[in-house]
C-alpha cells in the first residue's frame, strides 16, 4: 500500500541524465554561438547607453522641467505637476539622483520597446484567431512564471550586464500591453463598427481610424501596468548587473543596511508614483475625450 502514499517518479539516474543532457546542450550552444549572439545585441547596447547618457548627463533642472511639462501635458493638473517636482527634488536631496536616472532610463527604454512590440502583437492577437490562442497561452505562462526564472536563459546566453537585464525586464513587462490592446479593440461598440461599414471603410481603415482611437484608454491602462511591472522587475534584474536603485536595494539587503534600503525603496516608489500618475491622468483625459465625442 506504500504506492498510494508515495508518488511514482522517474529514476534519479535517468532524471540526472536528462538534466545533464539539457545543460550540456545549452553550454555547447553558448560556447559555439555565444559571441555571435552577444554581437547581434550590440545595437541594443548602444541604444541603452544613449538613454543612460541622456538621463545622467542632462542638468537636473532640465530633467525636472521636462518631466513637469510631460505631467502637465498628460493631466492639466497642478497637483500632479507639484507631486512630480516634489518627488524628484526629494530623490535628489537624498543623494540618489544619478541612480534614479539610471533606473528611469532603463524603465523608459523598456516601456518604449514593450509598446513597440506589444501593440502590434495585441492587434495580431485580435485579428488572427489561431495566433491569438497560441499567444494567449504563452502570456498565461509568462504571467504566472516567477520573475527570477526569466533571468536564467538570458544569463546563460548573454552573461550579465544591462542588455540581459533589459531583455528580462521587457519580457516580464510586455504581457499587459498585449492583452489590453486586444481587449480595447474587442470592447469597441458594434454599432460604431456597423456605422464604419456603412460608410464603406476598409478593414484597415476601420482598425486605425475607428477601433484603435476608441481603444486608446484601455491601451493606456496596459501601458500603465507595463511601466509598473518594469519598475518591479528592475530590482530583480539588479541581480545580473543592472545598475541603479535596484542594485542599491540588493546591496542593502546583502549588507543589512537598513537606511540605504529604505531610502532607495522610497526612490523606487516615488518613480513608480510619477509614472503611474502621468499615465493614469493621460488615460483619464482620453476617456473623457472619448465620452465627449460619443
CATH number at residue 50: 1.10.3720.10
Q: Give yes or no: residues 132 and 264 share one domain.
A: yes
Please tell me the pTM assigned to this model: 0.82
Query: What is the number of domains present in the chain?
Result: 2
Q: Give yes or no: residues 49 and 122 share one domain.
A: yes
pLDDT at 153: 76
Q: Give yes or no: residues 252 and 116 share one domain.
A: yes
Residues of the chain with pLDDT under 50: 293-294
Q: Give yes or no: residues 150 and 120 share one domain.
A: yes
113: number of Cβ within 10 Å: 19
6: helix, strand or coil? coil
Q: Give yes or no: residues 226 and 263 share one domain.
A: yes
Q: Which domain holds residue 248?
A: 41-293
Q: Give yes or no: residues 255 and 155 share one domain.
A: yes
DSSP string, 215-277: HHHHHHHHHHHHHHHHHHHHHHHGGGT--SHHHHHHHHHHHT-HHHHHHHHHHHHHHHHHHHH
Q: Give yes or no: residues 164 and 270 share one domain.
A: yes
Q: Give yes or no: residues 94 and 208 share one domain.
A: yes
160-219 per-position pLDDT tens digit: 778 888 888 888 889 999 999 999 988 888 888 888 888 888 888 888 888 888 888 888
Q: Give yes or no: residues 50 and 189 share one domain.
A: yes
pLDDT at 89: 93
Q: Give yes or no: residues 157 and 26 share one domain.
A: no
pLDDT at 5: 67
Q: Give yes or no: residues 50 and 25 share one domain.
A: no
Amino acid at each position: 500500500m506504500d504506492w498510494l502514499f508515495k508518488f511514482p517518479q522517474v529514476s534519479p539516474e535517468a532524471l540526472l541524465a536528462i538534466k545533464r543532457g539539457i545543460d550540456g546542450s545549452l553550454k555547447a550552444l553558448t560556447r559555439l554561438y555565444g559571441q555571435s549572439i552577444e554581437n547581434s545585441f550590440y545595437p541594443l547596447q548602444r541604444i541603452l547607453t544613449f538613454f543612460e547618457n541622456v538621463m545622467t548627463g542632462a542638468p537636473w533642472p532640465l530633467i525636472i522641467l521636462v518631466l513637469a511639462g510631460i505631467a502637465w501635458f498628460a493631466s492639466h493638473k497642478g497637483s500632479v505637476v507639484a507631486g512630480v517636482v516634489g518627488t524628484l527634488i526629494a530623490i535628489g536631496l537624498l543623494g540618489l539622483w544619478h541612480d534614479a536616472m539610471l533606473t528611469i532610463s532603463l524603465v523608459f527604454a523598456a516601456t518604449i520597446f514593450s509598446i513597440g512590440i506589444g501593440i502590434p502583437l495585441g492587434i495580431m492577437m485580435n485579428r488572427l484567431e489561431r495566433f491569438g490562442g497560441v499567444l494567449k497561452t504563452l502570456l498565461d505562462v509568462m504571467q504566472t512564471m516567477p520573475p527570477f526564472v526569466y533571468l536564467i536563459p538570458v544569463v546563460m546566453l548573454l552573461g550579465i550586464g544591462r542588455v540581459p537585464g533589459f531583455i528580462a525586464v521587457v519580457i516580464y513587462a510586455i504581457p499587459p500591453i498585449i492583452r489590453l490592446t486586444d481587449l480595447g479593440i474587442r470592447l469597441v461598440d458594434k454599432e460604431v463598427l456597423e456605422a464604419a461599414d456603412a460608410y464603406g471603410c476598409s478593414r484597415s481603415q476601420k482598425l486605425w481610424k475607428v477601433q484603435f482611437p476608441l481603444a486608446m484608454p484601455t491601451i493606456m491602462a496596459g501601458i500603465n501596468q507595463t511601466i509598473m511591472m518594469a519598475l518591479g522587475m528592475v530590482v530583480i534584474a539588479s541581480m545580473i548587473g543592472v545598475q541603479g536603485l535596484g542594485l542599491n536595494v540588493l546591496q542593502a539587503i546583502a549588507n543589512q543596511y537598513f537606511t540605504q534600503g529604505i531610502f532607495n525603496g522610497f526612490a523606487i516608489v516615488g518613480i513608480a508614483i510619477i509614472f503611474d500618475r502621468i499615465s493614469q491622468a493621460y488615460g483619464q483625459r482620453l476617456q473623457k475625450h472619448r465620452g465627449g465625442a460619443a
